[in-house]
């Protein structure tokens, strides 16, 4: 595989990762909203029922609720997938730049060689 072919393959992979990043962003946003709504509903229920007399107590009750905790965990997992995808995109960008530099160097060497320059002193 030529260097240009490798760059083309990396570029296609990058395009796919960018689409994936958008999808993961939506999943992460939905997960965060689900968690925050469940947390706030649980806090309101704790206050309205008299179970919690202070905001701090309502926070503690909501945090300890298994359903709220599961949604928080899901939100954290979704966010971690988003971060991992973003790092993969950064890595692909760097690899593509290295490949482009190498392609440019190869083209320059080919051009000089075709003009009769051999590089020998």
Nearest CA among 88, 76, 77 for reference residue 18: 88
pLDDT at residue 58 in the model: 97
Q: How confident is the model at residue 70 (pLDDT cuts 50, 70, 90)?
A: very high
More confident residue, 62 or 1: 62
Tokens of 120: 């020998």
pLDDT at residue 112 in the model: 85
The whole-angstrom separation of Cα 75 and Cα 63 is 14
Q: How confident is the model at residue 121 (pLDDT cuts 50, 70, 90)?
A: low
Over residues 74-96, the pLDDT tens digits come to 999 999 999 999 999 999 999 99
The whole-angstrom separation of Cα 73 and Cα 61 is 16
Cα dihedral 41→27→88→83 (10° resolution): -10
pLDDT at residue 37 in the model: 98
Q: How many other C-beta atoms are found inside a 10 Å radius of the C-beta of residue 35? A: 21
């Amino acid at each position: 595989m030529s260097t240009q072919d490798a760059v083309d393959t990396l570029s296609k992979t990058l395009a796919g990762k960018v689409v994936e990043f958008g999808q993961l962003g939506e999943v992460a946003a939905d997960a965060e909203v689900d968690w925050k709504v469940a947390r706030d509903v649980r806090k309101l229920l704790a206050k309205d029922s008299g179970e919690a007399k202070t905001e701090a107590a309502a926070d503690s009750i909501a945090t300890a609720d298994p359903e709220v905790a599961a949604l928080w965990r899901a939100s954290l997992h979704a966010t971690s997938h988003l971060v991992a995808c973003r790092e993969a995109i950064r890595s692909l960008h760097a690899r593509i730049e290295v490949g482009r530099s190498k392609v440019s160097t190869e083209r320059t060497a080919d051009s000089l060689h075709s003009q009769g320059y051999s590089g020998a002193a």
